[in-house]
């Protein structure tokens, strides 16, 4: 059986923009007062949070100096919201580092940033990242990352270089500027310009990010320490490179999440891969599989179905929240419990693959509104990750036969590299990320050179295997939630939130308040007033 491939999570999209020749410098942003209505077409809201959409003329390449007239630019989207009133120049700025997807999607699912802003009278900025990721099926060795930012990451959402997604994704030359280094430079340039336009050079910036966005937030704090006072890096697998952590850890943790709910469920999934292959190779087998799993089109290979199923299991482990959510898909609370219940409760005589369909239907069709399934659907536009995984984001992964419910798979770098050359015409640099940002001997390095970083990890999240799980110093701290899933701390507060989650978020905000207090010092009138107002309001 071919190794299963994964739809990379973490979530990053791309929409076309106007031709490059029409791009021009934008005027400095103007923010409506607390009681003023936004200008027509400028205001918007997502997840109940109001924001204004802005575009920033960003350099395509921050690390070269082309001649006059040869410079290339693109329009980078970012969202600005007051979330209760900014204290004004000098007041804090909460900046979300964009992920591998549409920024509005991450803004809607990062309620902590919006909900904490009034407490500190902070300005909220979400930036779109410049990445070309798609969360389509990738080899088992390619990670499912996703993170957050209010400035859209380049090559994702509407932040498309070269005027459109087709042009930006055209070939290795057009994709060459889709890197974490360029994204961090985007954020640094945008923040510097934004603060200057607002006469807010003295405003402290707090970085937020989840998943890949959390990695960017932590790395930005390290690479640009003068830009921010601290970073909350949630579910950031900054150690998932080379041989820093066991290569089997991701899929072992996914498997453990299912095993803790039901050993029978775990075993049914483990047994299903062989049956899927056997039926796929039988006469009319692909047609039968297509009918069993209610697919919109007849399968051309059983591997495509394996990809689709394994992606669902990995995503379910990531979003195994104790409350209902619609981050990746509309899902009930404790979705793995529901999946396993559906698999286990089928009547005697139900085939293994019919049980699997009953289970995975919870993930792909919990609302019951889907008539058939398109295996190539990418609802969150995360297609750029394939490129990143073939260049600098090389996260070797394996699947062990004993502990994993997935088929045995060994990472073969030679094959991996050959596939990247075939797909993009580039060869990966598997050691570049640790050279650029570190990773080996992380404790001693961050203790000596890092400060003011919170690393959050939920142990149900398979990405926690590549996360920082222990305090490194008094200001580089790890917050670990045994029952937490993928950046659950950043999610909007709900009435279903368990007490441990409420307490955990408060701990994070208390640490952030220390960063801001240290910044303002004894004369921190703005911050002190904001805190006083927040206490009075409560």
Q: Active site includes 376? A: no
Determine contact, residues 308/475, Cβ cutoff 8 Å: no
Q: Active site includes 177? A: no
CA 471 to chain centre: 23
Which residue among 320, 461, 487, 489 is the active-site one? 461
Which residue among 110, 203, 211, 228 is the active-site one? 211
User: Which residues, in sequence order, are bridge partners of residue 77?
Assistant: 55
Which residue among 146, 177, 486, 519 is the active-site one? 486
Determine contact, residues 359/309, Cβ cutoff 8 Å: no
What lies within 8 Å, CB to CB, of 86 at 6+ separation is: 31, 121, 122, 123
Residues 177, 379, 18: CA angle, nearest 5 degrees? 45
Q: What kind and span of H or E run contains 150? A: strand 150-154
Give the 3-state secondary structure of residue 219. Answer: helix
Helix %, strand %, coil % of the chain (to 5): 40, 15, 45
Per-residue HEC secondary structure of 276-320 comes to: HHHHHHCCCHHHHHHHHCCECCCCCCHHHHHHHHHHHHHHHHHCC
Q: What is the Cα gyration radius of the chain?
A: 23
Could you give the CA distance from residue 272 to residue 281 in angstroms, rounded to a whole number?
A: 14
What lies within 8 Å, CB to CB, of 69 at 6+ separation is: none
Q: What kind and span of H or E run contains 207? A: strand 205-210
Could you give the CA distance from residue 506 to residue 313 in angstroms, rounded to a whole number?
A: 31
Residue 378 neighbours by CB distance under 10 Å: 17
Q: Active site includes 489? A: no
B/e letters for 204-233, b = 16+ CB within 10 Å, e = fewer, are: bbbbbbbbbbbbbbbbbbbbbeebbbbbbb
Q: Which residues are catalytic?
A: 211, 461, 486
């Amino acid at each position: 059986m071919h190794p299963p491939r994964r739809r990379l999570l973490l979530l990053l999209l791309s929409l076309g923009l106007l031709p490059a020749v029409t791009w021009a410098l934008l005027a400095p942003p103007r923010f409506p007062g607390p009681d003023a209505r936004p200008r027509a077409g400028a205001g918007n809201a997502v997840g109940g949070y109001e924001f204004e959409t802005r575009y920033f003329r960003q350099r395509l390449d921050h690390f070269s100096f082309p001649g006059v007239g040869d410079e290339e630019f693109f329009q980078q989207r970012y969202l600005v919201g007051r979330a209760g009133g900014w204290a004004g120049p000098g007041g804090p700025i909460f900046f979300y580092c964009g992920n591998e997807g549409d920024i509005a999607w991450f803004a809607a699912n990062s309620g902590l940033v919006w909900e904490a802003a009034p407490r500190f009278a902070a300005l909220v900025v979400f930036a779109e990242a410049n990445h070309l990721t798609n969360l389509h099926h990738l080899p088992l060795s390619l990670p499912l990352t996703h993170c957050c930012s209010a400035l859209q990451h380049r090559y994702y959402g509407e932040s498309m270089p070269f005027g459109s997604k087709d042009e930006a994704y055209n070939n290795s030359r057009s994709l060459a500027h889709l890197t974490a280094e360029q994204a961090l430079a985007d954020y640094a340039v945008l923040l510097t310009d934004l603060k200057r336009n607002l006469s807010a050079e003295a405003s402290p910036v707090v970085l937020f990010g989840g998943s890949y966005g959390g990695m960017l937030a932590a790395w930005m704090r390290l690479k640009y320490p003068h830009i921010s006072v601290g970073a909350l890096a949630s579910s950031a697998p900054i150690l998932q490179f080379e041989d820093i952590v066991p290569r089997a850890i991701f899929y072992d943790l996914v498997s453990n999440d299912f095993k803790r709910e039901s050993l029978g469920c775990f075993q049914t999934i483990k047994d299903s891969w062989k049956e899927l292959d056997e039926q796929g190779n039988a006469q009319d087998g692909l047609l039968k599989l297509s009918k069993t799993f209610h697919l919109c089109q007849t399968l051309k290979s059983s591997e495509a179905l394996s990809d689709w199923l394994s992606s669902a299991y990995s995503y379910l482990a990531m979003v195994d929240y104790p409350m209902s959510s619609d981050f990746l898909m509309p899902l009930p609370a404790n979705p793995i419990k529901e999946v396993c219940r559906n698999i286990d409760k089928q009547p005697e005589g139900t085939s293994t693959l019919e049980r699997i369909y009953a289970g995975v239907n919870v993930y792909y069709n919990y609302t019951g509104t889907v008539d058939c399934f398109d295996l190539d659907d990418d609802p969150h536009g995360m297609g750029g990750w394939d490129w990143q995984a073939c260049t600098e984001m090389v996260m070797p992964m394996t699947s062990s036969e004993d502990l994993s419910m997935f088929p045995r798979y060994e990472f073969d770098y030679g094959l991996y590299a050959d596939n990247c050359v075939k797909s993009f015409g580039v060869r990966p640099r598997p050691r570049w990320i640790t050279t650029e940002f570190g990773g080996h001997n992380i404790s001693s390095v961050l203790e000596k050179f890092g400060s003011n970083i919170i690393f959050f990890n939920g142990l149900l999240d398979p990405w926690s295997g590549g996360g920082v799980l222990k305090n490194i110093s008094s200001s580089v701290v790890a917050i670990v939630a045994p029952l937490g899933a993928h950046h659950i701390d950043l999610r909007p507060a709900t009435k279903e939130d368990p007490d441990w989650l409420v307490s955990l978020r408060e701990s994070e905000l208390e640490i952030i308040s220390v960063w801001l207090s240290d910044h303002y010092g004894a004369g921190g009138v703005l911050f002190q007033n904001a805190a006083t107002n927040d206490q009075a309001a409560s």
